[in-house]
Amino acid sequence: MTKPIRVLNLFTIMNRGGAETMVMNYYRSIDRSKVQFDFMVHREEKGAYDDEIEELGGKIYRMPSVRPWSSSNYRKTVRDFYHEHPEYNIIHSHMSELGYYDFVEAKKEGVKNRISHAHNRPYGIDIKSPMRWYYKKRMRPYVTHMMICGEEAGIWLFGKENKDKFTMLNNAIDSSKYIFDESKRLRVRKSLGIDPQQLVIGHVGRFDVQKNHSFIIDIFNAVLKRNPQAVLTLIGDDSVSLGQKIHEKADTLGISSQVKFLGVRNDVNELMQAMDVFLFPSLFEGLSVASIEAQASGLPVIISDQIPLECKKTDLVEVVSLKSPVEKWADTLISASEIPRQNMFESIKKSGFDINENAKNLQNFYLSISK
């Protein structure tokens, strides 16, 4: 029996972030007798998906963190790795510009296919910006395939001049798991201690400045002035520093009893059943998996004007400017929450974001370049 080709995916850590969840959706759906995923991660601690990866037959290799100021040690470590593992003819980096060192060393060791995947499109300038600009430009000559979740993310990482080289890979989901079911809605609400008639606003995202949690709290505070019984559910690891600050902000505003911090969950599809409207006021995004999941659940989705409209796969998405007052956001949320829930399976499938066909396409892509 022919062994499957092995694709090495590069990540920081396999926790439940957008890119990680998207790759796991594909991993579960590909024919693993033909294509098997392995993972190179850059944290010692265990990731949320590590057990499942190993159950599916994947290997996990742990490398030191990528530190530009100590790059010589990292480069030697990965050079030795690629020398010792000639079985990898395809590496697929999900680390943005930090994939640079791996691409350089992999090329030296004869790794033929070096895929860089653009998952995000940062905006603004911060202390990391000069480094990011420097490494993404240096990385491009070592990349053999430029994969994107959306055009804006691709232009940011690879440059507009390389648009004709982009390969689109949709942030696909198993939309059958998100079909709205009233009985599930009631069951999940009961488990969360939420009454059937309460307004529930939901958000899924890591506690990071990008996701704009502080503004989410401000918006929800304005919602409560209109609907004092409303509930906010926040899904993501709130144990981090920013999470604790958001806890404190809710306490200071006196609304913490109506903000449910649900932590990292593996049942987001179930939790979305309990929501009435999905709030997503990010400062920037590539193409959010969570926004696709919410639409698949039949949820109205209110996004900021800094999120690419490529995420609008149904008529359920409405855009509000980040410059708009919180009252505008609150009114929009309350109005949108009155939209009846419906089965969106066929709509998501027609939009090209159901996982089954996408997994076949990715599998065929890997098989074609491995020859």
82-96 tens-digit pLDDT:
999 999 999 999 999
Tell which residue, 175, 156, 149, 185, has the closest CA to residue 275: 185
Question: Which of these ranges, 125-139, 279-293, 310-324, has the smallest mean pLDDT?
Answer: 125-139
Q: Is 37 in contact with 27 (CB distance < 8 Å)?
A: yes
Using only C-alpha atoms, what is the Rg of the chain?
Answer: 21
**% of the chain exceeding 90 in pLDDT:** 89
Token pair of 7 as six digits: 């694709």
Q: What is the DSSP string of 9-44?
A: EE-S--SS-HHHHHHHHHHHHS-TTTEEEEEEES-S
Question: Average pLDDT over the chain, rounded to whole?
Answer: 95
The phi, psi pair for 298, rounded to 5°, reads 80, 15
The phi, psi pair for 197, rounded to 5°, reads -95, -5
Mean pLDDT of 192-220: 97
Residue-wise pLDDT for 250-272, tens only, equals: 999 999 999 999 999 999 999 99
Mean pLDDT of 285-307: 94
Q: Is the pLDDT of residue 51 over 90?
A: yes
Q: Is the pLDDT of residue 371 over 90?
A: no
Q: State the sign of the Cα–Cα–Cα–Cα dihedral 73, 76, 82, 85.
A: negative
pLDDT computed for residue 85 by the predictor:
97
Q: Is 321 in contact with 305 (CB distance < 8 Å)?
A: yes
Q: How confident is the model at residue 1 (pLDDT cuts 50, 70, 90)?
A: low
Q: Rounded CA gap, 359 and 362, in Å?
A: 5
Q: Is the pLDDT of residue 11 over 90?
A: yes
Q: What is the pTM of this model?
A: 0.88
pLDDT computed for residue 310 by the predictor:
87
Q: Is the pLDDT of residue 178 over 80?
A: yes
Q: Rounded CA gap, 305 and 302, in Å?
A: 10
Q: How confident is the model at residue 168 (pLDDT cuts 50, 70, 90)?
A: very high
Residues 6 or more apart in contact with residue 88 via CB below 8 angstroms: 6, 7, 8, 38, 82, 111
Mean pLDDT of 121-130: 76
